Structure 1
Amino acid sequence: MSNPAQILDVSALPPGGGFLLAPVGQERIRTPDDFTEDQRAFFRTAEQFAEERVLANAARIEKKDYPFVRQLLREAGELGLLGLDVPEAYGGLGQDETSSMLVTEAMARLGAWSVTFGAQVGIGSLPIVYFGTEAQKRRYLPKLVSGEWVAAYALSESSSGSDALGARTKAVLTPDRKHFVLNGSKQWITNAGFADVFIVFAKIDGDKFSAFIVEKGTPGFSLGAEEHKMGIRGSSTCPLIFEDAKIPAENLLGEPGKGHRIAFNILNIGRLKLGAGCVAGCRGVLQLAVEYGRDRRAFGQPITGFGLVREKLARMAALVYAGEAMSYRTTGLIDERMARSGAAHGTPAFDQAVIAAVEEYNIEASILKVWGSEALSQAADEALQIHGGYGFVEEYAIERVYRDNRVNRIFEGTNEINRMLIPGTLLKRAAKGQFPLPQLARTVGEAAARGELPRPGPGPLARERRLAELNKHLMVYALQAAVETFGPALSEKQEVLGALADVAIEAYAVDSAVARALQSARDGRVEPVAEACVKLYAVEAHERAYAQAKRALRATVTDVAACREHLGRLRKLFDEDPADLTALREIIVTKTLEAGKYPLGWA
């Protein structure tokens, strides 16, 4: 962007939302090329387990054979796959966020198992890892890491899903201060039917939102009936019921009234991992589509010879490339922030540093959650379409994938809530002086008024670098117009915020994909399939970003003349030069069909 040195010290680690500040490629990002041998080994171990033990027994899992699911968790524990985020002192492996994300990706081969596994190692265990007392960690973590005990996370209620702080479950300290008495209920709790340990959120005295560790068998604590779900049928989902349930006072997790910090930070980690899992899902459905499409013949040829099918396959591959770029860029930022903290793994200082890092990049976490879940929905839908009528019957795996993926847009915070968080967090940080939005907006506004456009220098992907910068300009210009129009009331303008979020999401995706490709260049040349993936995604994403920026402005500026002026300036930020997308798709799909799967795999 124009004069980045005036806005950001690019030698420092970028802040959350920093992709809007520095020119694309100026920040070196983590990519699959940077994975260490240890990280790759964790992935291969998890991938082999998922293939040989999970997928091979998919029918058994889907039929809710929960004793077998518990057995699988124990087997995963024996391999160390349940303890990557847990310090060695409590039986874990104490690995970095990237290693943990890679295992999450590998476990995404079957939706029901992915959800069960994620609840165990993520939202069910991490609250104790980062917020538990020493006694709590020693009591629970070794058994969770081994798979002897199963964990669940209970935040949602029938009347408060996205509005977590509206929970009605109440906790009252007994007069002898030895117990909390819980009354209320929880809804949609993964692993509930066979869990041993529950992280439960309730309000002490009806107003101090707090977290508790509740064990199975606690008097007054019971389960409702299993939910029969559209997808992820092999995972357990039950309501929890508390009727004067007495919880030992020492099972309070964290500080009274600070449960929101636990809930939201653990959800941010969950969003990161959900996004990565969805990218893995996109790879999986692309392979299903290729395998089916090469064998299915129509009009005398495989259907992969038809242009509209090839278009679908190419788009799926481009989605995977961009998704991988965003996922590991984000975990790389968290890992680098942790490394710079100097804190030793397993110490209180480390726990605090992890939470600080996750809080810093919560914008990127929400972007990954929204983008990943919607990319997988698009890819699964297109893969099913390629299967035709066979995609609609249970005999073919794509039918299950199509059903399973739908919930991704609902849990870990609905996509609507996450869309509100993306621009909302930027505005809050700007108001506190933690993000240079006013300076950035002034720079972009003045440039737009003068008709000055980003002009990256020579080198590979020149147009795509320009598109990356234009997307950022679109976001900042539309956001500033909304701030000037609505002021603090912007927080209530959901349609505007949603459109702005979509611009930011595309800006991060294109910036990440271009940066990844530039880093992989050898002797000034980018690998042809990677180059085609970036070009295809960048052109179409820029069109979507422009459309959403217009949508935001039209919902912001009601005066006709003023709106026309804004839209005229916005038009200058739109690159409508032609691009031969068909040729790009052919480069991608030819290699995809040769490989029989996503052609740029790194494992």
Structure 2
Amino acid sequence: MKRMKGGAFLLESCQPEDVFTPEDLNEEQKLIAKTTDEFIREQVFPLLEQIEQQNFSHTVRLLQEAGELGLLAADVPEAYGGIGLDKVSSTLITEKMAQGRSFALSHGAHVGIGTLPIVFFGTEQQKKRYLPALANGKKLAAYALTEPGSGSDALGAKTTAVLQEDGKHYLLNGEKQWITNSAFADLFIVYAKVDGEKFSAFIVEKDFPGVSTGPEEHKMGIKGSSTRTLILQEAQVPAENLLGEVGKGHLIAFNILNMGRFKLAAGTVGTAKRVLELAIKYALERKQFKQPIASFPLIQEKIATMAIELYATESLVYRTAGVLDQGLSGVEQKQGQEVAKAIGEYAIECSIAKVVGSEMLDYVVDEAVQIHGGYGFMSEYEVETHYRDSRINRIFEGTNEINRLLIPAALIRKANKGELPFFARAQGLQSELMNLMPTLPDPQAAPLTLEQEQINHAKLLFLFVAGQAIERYGTKLTEQQEMIRDISDIALSIYTMESTLLRAAKQQNQSKPNATSHLQFAEALIYNRMQKLEQIARHTLTALFTGDTLRVQLAILRKLTRIEPKNELQLKRNIVKQLLKAKKYIVQSRS
């Protein structure tokens, strides 16, 4: 596989053989997925209602059982008691775990943001002391960053750490809010400002003097997870429990959030598959006017659209898992800045995955409730719980609004460092676009040829709109958040469309029996996204220009977003047939 730099997908072309897709799983990875799926369905599903009532003894026991199966150890190196799996394998575990609702959140907080800071940034002593127990479930972890006055503004934290005169302990004072796993966590990754100024990270055990937690919070969803305030009152933390360097806590916090965003996206894929399965089965069983509601075209359209959005997210999540595998190979042997750079390389892709995944899941659960009708509003139906649970994902790991602001900022930072030739590519683009000739459909062309050209034009559109905005506002572009949002949404669409196309093209190139189904998913997704891109770009261009200049810019926009009419209705009818036959999300051969 060709190794791509983070964000390079916006400027460069990529070939199908350069991306990882769900169809590329090897036998070992399939076994890991099967093991996780069986664990959730056989061990966790029967206890979900009790877990929902916050019977945390079940959660702790199940996490320990997961540890015995190796399901907590995927990201922990073998040298420290883990099994050091590739990122695709750990992504599969996260996806399959997601069916377990609140239990999945407890698992994810432990293996992800709770354990990874020590994996990536811990000293040799810290890794040997903590990782074996975290990998087998004898100790459980939590992550404590948010405070009552600092959510998205993490560096505004008020929690302080003062090194005592003997140099043996730090005294930590402050409160951390909304801490997942806090009822039963044995250790917390805590962020505090040394001497009130230097943002730093610490490994804090629950039994250290001065450490306590508040009462459980009452939440809209994910009710079976523990969410409490972590209270630090003159908490005594050994000096050797400083994680990383004093004043370098932001390197840990922000890069662990990058990994958390990606894992959240993987979880949305697993949950969406479960919810779509519930919706399909209900539609097949529920009868109105003497026939299953699954026979009604409007219900079929909902199911098809849910599946298309899921297919797209699944495609970009596993593409991202593939690049993370390349970028993070051997990273646990590196130190500090090197680790942060390796993780931060794909910050753009991780933010995109988080935004796309969380918004896809919100759409899927909303439509699933609609398909259930009044029963979807009743708590005894599983879909009602998923509806409430899904809402937090657009807030977790940095709100979607914050992530949308981060994407262009990360791109500009890379360009300023000379890591991506964004400015050079944007220069002189307008004259190139003025002479751009529209692509006409060729009946003899290979499948997805026209869609590939549309994606190429979408990349030019990104350069066009982002370049115009930067030229107009320069460093003050950060004040134009609506424009930054629009630029991000173009980038989101490009990564989604291209990941979908590359996955389908790979199946086509390999002459797989289900290639036609993949093509239909890709065609439907790209047709939908290209229509939305025109509206997004128009919104920013009309804010940048007026009069004749605006008319020229809009003429270029029409060239770049021109699409041939497609029978989207028939595409979706073809897609839904296989879903109803399988009674779940599946990409299979047409019958």
Structure 1 and Structure 2 fold alike (TM over 0.5) = yes
1:163 to 135, 138, 153: 153
User: How far off is 1:454 after superposition?
Assistant: 6.2
Q: Any conservation in 2 of the 1:179–1:249 contact (CA below 8 Å)?
A: yes
Residue 374 of structure 1 pairs with residue 359 of structure 2: yes
Show the counterpart of 1:473: 460
AA matched with 2:426: A
Q: Any conservation in 2 of the 1:154–1:186 contact (CA below 8 Å)?
A: yes
Moved more, 236-245 or 570-579: 570-579
User: How far off is 1:278 after superposition?
Assistant: 0.6
The 3-state SS of whatever aligns with 1:246 is: strand
Q: Any conservation in 2 of the 1:62–1:112 contact (CA below 8 Å)?
A: yes
User: How far off is 1:358 after superposition?
Assistant: 2.1
Show the counterpart of 2:333: 347
2:481 to 477, 481, 494: 494
The 3-state SS of whatever aligns with 1:460 is: coil
CA distance in 2, matches of 1:43, 1:405: 22
Moved more, 140-149 or 399-408: 140-149
1:520 to 491, 503, 507: 507
Moved more, 523-532 or 380-389: 523-532
Q: Any conservation in 2 of the 1:510–1:537 contact (CA below 8 Å)?
A: yes
User: Structure 1 residues 353 and 600, CA, compared in 2 at 3 Å: closer, same or farther?
Assistant: farther
User: How far off is 1:23 after superposition?
Assistant: 2.8
User: Structure 1 residues 361 and 195, CA, compared in 2 at 3 Å: closer, same or farther?
Assistant: same
CA distance in 1, matches of 2:430, 2:30: 45
CA distance in 2, matches of 1:184, 1:24: 48
User: How far off is 1:353 after superposition?
Assistant: 6.2
CA distance in 1, matches of 2:163, 2:96: 43
Moved more, 526-535 or 487-496: 526-535
CA distance in 1, matches of 2:195, 2:354: 34
Q: Deviations over 1:153-173 (max 9, x none)?
A: 000001100110111101111
Q: Any conservation in 1 of the 2:328–2:343 contact (CA below 8 Å)?
A: no
Show the counterpart of 1:211: 201
AA matched with 2:490: V
Q: Deviations over 1:128-174 (max 9, x none)?
A: 11111111111111111111111000000011001101111011111
2:108 to 77, 97, 118: 118
Show the counterpart of 2:446: 459
User: How far off is 1:451 after superposition?
Assistant: 3.0
User: How far off is 1:79 after superposition?
Assistant: 0.2
AA matched with 2:542: R
User: How far off is 1:26 after superposition?
Assistant: 6.1
Q: Any conservation in 1 of the 2:578–2:588 contact (CA below 8 Å)?
A: no
CA distance in 1, matches of 2:538, 2:422: 20
Show the counterpart of 1:6: none
Q: Deviations over 1:464-488 (max 9, x none)?
A: 2122222212211110010111001
1:143 to 133, 137, 140: 133
Show the counterpart of 2:40: 50
Show the counterpart of 1:234: 224
TM-score normalised by the chain length of structure 2: 0.96
CA distance in 1, matches of 2:504, 2:491: 20
Show the counterpart of 2:578: 591
1:411 to 396, 407, 418: 396
Moved more, 294-303 or 358-367: 294-303
Show the counterpart of 1:131: 121
User: How far off is 1:560 after superposition?
Assistant: 3.3
User: How far off is 1:365 after superposition?
Assistant: 0.2
CA distance in 1, matches of 2:546, 2:578: 51
Q: Any conservation in 2 of the 1:16–1:362 contact (CA below 8 Å)?
A: yes
User: How far off is 1:492 after superposition?
Assistant: 2.2
User: Structure 1 residues 135 and 454, CA, compared in 2 at 3 Å: closer, same or farther?
Assistant: farther
Moved more, 149-158 or 295-304: 295-304
CA distance in 2, matches of 1:300, 1:34: 43
The 3-state SS of whatever aligns with 1:192 is: coil
Q: Which runs of 4+ in 1 moved over 4 A?
A: 351-355, 453-457, 522-526
Moved more, 560-569 or 376-385: 560-569
CA distance in 1, matches of 2:488, 2:26: 33
1:107 to 81, 87, 97: 97
User: Structure 1 residues 347 and 322, CA, compared in 2 at 3 Å: closer, same or farther?
Assistant: same
Q: Any conservation in 2 of the 1:104–1:276 contact (CA below 8 Å)?
A: yes
AA matched with 1:197: L
Note the aligned Cα RMSD (angstroms). 1.9
CA distance in 1, matches of 2:418, 2:189: 35
Aligned positions, number:
586
% identical aligned pairs: 47
The 3-state SS of whatever aligns with 1:22 is: coil
Moved more, 434-443 or 368-377: 434-443
Q: Any conservation in 2 of the 1:170–1:202 contact (CA below 8 Å)?
A: yes
User: Structure 1 residues 39 and 55, CA, compared in 2 at 3 Å: closer, same or farther?
Assistant: same
Show the counterpart of 1:325: 315
Q: Any conservation in 2 of the 1:507–1:545 contact (CA below 8 Å)?
A: no
User: Structure 1 residues 249 and 477, CA, compared in 2 at 3 Å: closer, same or farther?
Assistant: same
User: How far off is 1:588 after superposition?
Assistant: 0.4
Q: Any conservation in 1 of the 2:80–2:128 contact (CA below 8 Å)?
A: yes
Moved more, 68-77 or 137-146: 137-146
Residue 94 of structure 1 pairs with residue 80 of structure 2: no
User: Structure 1 residues 218 and 380, CA, compared in 2 at 3 Å: closer, same or farther?
Assistant: same
AA matched with 2:235: A
Q: Any conservation in 1 of the 2:121–2:339 contact (CA below 8 Å)?
A: no
AA matched with 1:418: N
User: How far off is 1:549 after superposition?
Assistant: 1.4
Moved more, 284-293 or 218-227: 218-227
AA matched with 1:544: K
CA distance in 2, matches of 1:436, 1:454: 26
Moved more, 434-443 or 88-97: 434-443
Q: Any conservation in 2 of the 1:105–1:277 contact (CA below 8 Å)?
A: yes
User: How far off is 1:120 after superposition?
Assistant: 0.6
AA matched with 1:333: V
5+ residue gaps, structure 1, are: 1-10
Residue 250 of structure 1 pairs with residue 240 of structure 2: yes
User: Structure 1 residues 524 and 45, CA, compared in 2 at 3 Å: closer, same or farther?
Assistant: closer
Show the counterpart of 2:406: 421
Q: Any conservation in 2 of the 1:193–1:237 contact (CA below 8 Å)?
A: yes
Q: Any conservation in 2 of the 1:111–1:404 contact (CA below 8 Å)?
A: yes
AA matched with 1:23: S
The 3-state SS of whatever aligns with 2:142 is: strand
The 3-state SS of whatever aligns with 1:411 is: coil
User: How far off is 1:447 after superposition?
Assistant: 2.7
